[in-house]
Each structure stands twice: as C-alpha cells, then as structure tokens.
Chains A and B, each alone.
Chain A
Amino acid sequence: MTNQLVFENLKHRWVRTLLGVLLIGIQVMIILALVGLSRGTLNDQATRARGVGADIVIRAPASSVISMSSGMPAGVVAKVQQQPHVKDATGVLQQGTGLFDYITGIDLAQFDELSGGFHFTAGGPLAGPDDVMLDEYYAGQHHYHVGDTIKLINHAWRVSGIYEPGTLTRIVVPLGTLQDLTANTGKVSMLYVKLDNPANTAEVEKQLSAVLKDYRINSMEEFTSLYSVNNVPMLKEFTWVVIGLGVLVGFLAVFLSMYTAVLERTREIGILKALGASPAYILNILLRETALLAIAGSILGILLSYVTQFAIHDLAPASLTQAIVPSWWPIAGAIAIVGSLLGAMYPGLKAARQDAIEALSYD
C-alpha cells in the first residue's frame, strides 16, 4: 500500500516528478560522460598506438604518456636499427594542434615498412611536403575531402588521402615539414620499434636500456597500459571534482523538490498522522519517492550518456572520444541515489516532525 501511495504521489505531481528525474538524470549523465570521455579518449589513443604494429616504444627522458617531449635526436633511429632482433624502427614527431588534437609527422616509407601501411578509403599517401593524411573520423567530423586545403599550425596542407582510423594518429604529415615548422629539425618525440620476433621483446628492451640511458623504453603492452586515468596529471582529481559538483547539484535539486513537496502536502501528512502514521512511516514514504526518482533519473542519465556520446562525436575535437562505461552505471546510480536521499532527508524529517493539528488546518 505504501508503494501505491508513493507511486500515486509521483503520478499526481507529474511535472515535479519529471523535473526531478531530469535533474538527477543530468547529474548521472555528467558523471558518465566525464568518465566515458577520459576512458574513451585514453582507450582510443592506446588502440591507435597498438595499431602501429610495433613491439617496443621509445620516448625521450622527459616524456609522459600524454605529453611527448620532442627532445630526441632522430639519429637514435639508426642506433636502434643496428640492435640485434630489431627489424624496423621509425621516429615520429607529435605536435599539439589544440587542447586535445595533435598532428604527427612521419617518415612515410619507414613507417609503412614497420606498420604495413595505412588503409586508404579515399586518395592516397603523402606525395609532397605540404600533404596531410587524415583518418576517416577526423575527416568526417570536419567534412574534409581529398584535395581540400586545410590550415593546421598556421600552415596550409593539401589532403592527399583519408585512411581507416586505428593507426597512430588522426592527422599525419611528412616528418621533415613538421620538424621545420615547429623548430624541431632533426628531432623526434618517439620511436616505434618492430622486432624479428615479439618473443624477444624483453631481451631487446634490456639491450636498448643499456644503449639509450635515461630513455623511456616500454613494450607496446606496457606503453598502452600507461594510457590510464591515473597517469594523466590531475584527471582523476578533475573527475572527482566534477562528480562532487554533480552530487551537490543533485542534492540541491532533490532538496528543493522534496521541500516543495512537503509544503504542498502538509495537509496530507496531517491526515496520515491522524490515522496513526509514525514519523518513520512518513519519512519512509518520502524517501521511497526520492529513491524512485533517483532510480528513474539514473536510467535517464544512462540513456543521456549515449546522447552525449553522439554529440561529442559530432561536435568535440576528434581526439576526444566518449566511451560507454557500463561498469560505472551502478556507481553513478549509487551516487545519485545517495545524494538524492541525503537531499530528501531534511524535508523528510521536517514532514515527519510536523504537528498534526497544524498540518490538518493547513489549506
């Protein structure tokens, strides 16, 4: 019977119910979108790194997984190529083009030999120093086509080809041009190394560590595992701050909503009290209402996270990818439910403590 009363109350004040669900849904959506963005973007980068087909990655001493230093002399490539079991090695230079996007300079012939080449869906490989290749995702998002001239890092590039995503990066230009444009002549930010047999990875890693002191040398497996939230400076803290704000907004939304509901239903609460309802019974009704709102809001938030995924794909920089992270659904739901129940606690206690006579005379 209590459940029926709860359900009927929610149905009766459907505008308030819908608003409550929407606000909680937005709170859940913010959490899921943020977690999905960090996971999606990092996973996407790891996938593209794996797509190169290398066995070992070498980075300059001061590099982090997110921010590559360009302080590695290109001559290191030749040194690495001389090591036993090394089949191919190629250096690339990365340059940021915005907050999240970056452009990568490669020695196309060397890179193709190592990775097996790009799979083009339109056009072909870099033919001149001012050519650029784009992956389908980036090209589609910006509506670029083969032959178009685009401007990146204050330089005009001609789109020579569009390739399937999943290899290295979204924007590829000739290494020499990028080195000159960014005052990094003769320098690369990282090296991809392919071995004659992946089983030799540990041995070669050891060898290279001896030759290239202080350089960061990782197997591809180790390197891609570095693409985690914990390795991105401040990302974890930022996520928690946004989650905290989400909880606060949800808390305040439910607080206001339930406070209004309690005022609106003063007389009904008086009736229940006259019938012998204890403060716990009244609190229980309001908390059940809130829990239902929070559950519905959580489901809505999950659905909305698919909407944000779609919106980010279309509107945000190409390097930002939002993943759907089902393992966070119960966490975001629990955050919403706990925040909402806390928000309902004061109005609920106010209702439970209401004087029955005053409540019954309330119009």
Chain B
Amino acid sequence: MTDREPIISIRDLRKTYHAGEVDVHALRGVDLDVAAGEFVSVIGPSGSGKSTLFHILGGLTPPTSGTVHIAGRDLFGMTDAERTELRKSTVGFVFQKYNLLPTLTARGNIEIARDIAHKNGPLDAQFLEALRLLGIEKRLDHKPRALSGGEQQRVAIARALVNHPAILLADEPTGNLDTENSNAVLGLLRDLNQSMGQTILMITHNPEAAGYGHRTVRMRDGRIE
C-alpha cells in the first residue's frame, strides 16, 4: 500500500496548546504517510496525541508547526475559511458519540451534509452502494432517538461518506457500541475500504479493533513509536 503516492503526508508535526500559563505539547514531531485507499489504525493511550492528530487532519484546529498535506493541500497556514472548506470537501468525520443532529431524521442528517457542501440532486450510485453496504436504507426516515447505537453509527458513517471525502477520519467509532455492533461497524469500515477504496484513518484504544486496518500506528507522548 505504502508504495503509492500518499494522500496524507505529515512531517515533524507539532501542536502546542496554551492552558493558562502552561504550554501543553500535544504533538512533538509526528511523521506519517498514508496512501490513498489505505486503512490505518492509530492506537495509543489517553493523552498520547491521537485526538489532536485527528483534529489537525480534520481541519478543526491548525498545527503549530510542521507540514501536513492532505490530497495535495497543505494545512499549515490555512485560514479558518480554508479549513472549513477542507472539512466540507476533503474530510469525513465519524465520532465515538455518533454526533447526529437529534432534530433531523437519518436522511436529514445525510442531506444536511450535502447541503453544507452545496450538493443537490439525487444521490449518486456510489453512495447508494455505500448505503446498501451499511444496511440502513430502511431506517432513513427515523430520528436518531429511534435508532440503536449501531444504526446511529452507520448513519454517521453514511453522512461522512456522502460528499465522497478523500479521507474518512474515525475517532473511536466503536467506543460506545457493544461487541456485536462494534464488529459490525468495523466490518463495514473494512468493506467500504475494500470495495470502494475509501482511505480511512481510525483512532482506537482497542487493539482488536485496530486489527481491522491494513496497519497500525502507535502513538505515545505526542510521537509515533
């Protein structure tokens, strides 16, 4: 996989947060390449910098220094508007807590992501195939409160994929699920990666879950081991 042109290329990435008068060095020089179509698991203890890496890759926070290229775009020095554009077009998020909008149905949650990306018209064949894989076609008109945790996470995955992002960032996607649903969601992520070539970067605490990816990257103290 790694012989291909990397879709994510990170060099000496550092991130320092200022908590009052204390500087917290969340990332202390991360280097990482992820090839297009790769499924990479990032594993590490709490405070190792996994989430910070995830937030930087997703354009939710800027890096302090270093270079981060995603699909050819350099994240360093991006304005807020450019990072917003990145989230809209290049990155899809899947969160531990599903983060569906409670007032909208599953379909509405997917449609709002398209609306934000200014996409109209019928859903494309590739996404319909993803929906079929996710097995939620018949649950689309239900609101999140009427869906099980596993179903909610599948809707969240569908929402993350609807705009065909270059990378799917999954932050502990099975953290709130029981074993059966966890295995189902992880299996789906693997299927999406295999059948549709979706690049996936997944953060997890669970080594078993990490095993679903092509390779596992271990983080500790803001660095990749």
| Chain A interfacial positions (CB closer than 8 Å to B) | 1-2, 4-5, 8-9, 11-12, 267-268, 270-278, 281, 356-357, 360
Contact = CB atoms under 8 A, between A and B. Distances in A.
Interface of B: 55, 58, 60-61, 81, 84-89, 93, 95, 99-104, 108, 111-117, 159
B84 A1 contact: no
Chain A binding surface SS class: helix
A275 B113 contact: yes
A11 B143 CA distance: 13
A12 B60 CA distance: 28
Given A8-B103, A357-B55, A2 B115 contact: yes
A272 to B, nearest CB: 7
Contact of B60 (A1, A11, A274, A277): A274
A278 B100 CA distance: 18
A233 to B, nearest CB: 53
Which 7 A-B pairs rank lowest in CB-CB distance, beginning with the nearest? A276-B88, A1-B115, A8-B103, A276-B87, A12-B103, A271-B99, A356-B60
A5 B108 CA distance: 8
A278 B112 contact: no
B103 A9 contact: yes
Nearest to B92: A275
A276 B84 contact: yes
A267 B111 CA distance: 19
Given A357-B55, A357-B60, A357-B61, A275 B102 contact: no
A281 B116 contact: yes
Contact of B101 (A2, A268, A276, A360): A268
Chain B binding surface SS class: helix
Given A274-B60, A278-B81, A8 B116 contact: no
B11 to A, nearest CB: 23
B116 A5 contact: no
B124 to A, nearest CB: 17
Nearest to B55: A357
Contact of B114 (A1, A5, A268): A1
Contacts of B61: 357
21 contacts: A1-B108, A4-B104, A5-B112, A8-B103, A8-B108, A272-B112, A272-B116, A273-B84, A274-B58, A274-B60, A274-B93, A275-B93, A275-B113, A276-B86, A276-B87, A276-B116, A357-B55, A357-B60, A360-B60, A360-B95, A360-B99
Contact of B87 (A5, A8, A267, A274): A274
B103 A1 contact: no
A277 B115 CA distance: 9
A12 B101 CA distance: 11
A235 B181 CA distance: 71
Contacts of A274: 58, 60, 87, 93, 95, 99
Given A1-B111, A1-B112, 5 more contacts: A1-B115, A8-B104, A271-B99, A275-B87, A275-B93
A13 to B, nearest CB: 9
Contacts of A273: 60, 84, 87
Contacts of B58: 274
Interface centre among B88, B103, B113 (most CB of A within 10 A): B103
Contacts of B101: 5, 268, 271-272
B104 A5 contact: yes
B54 to A, nearest CB: 10
A268 B103 CA distance: 10
A25 to B, nearest CB: 24
Interface centre among A4, A9, A271, A357 (most CB of B within 10 A): A271
A9 B85 CA distance: 25
Given A1-B108, A356-B60, A360-B99, A276 B89 contact: yes
Contacts of B117: 276
Contacts of A270: 99
A258 B70 CA distance: 37
A330 to B, nearest CB: 31
A276 B103 contact: no
A252 to B, nearest CB: 26
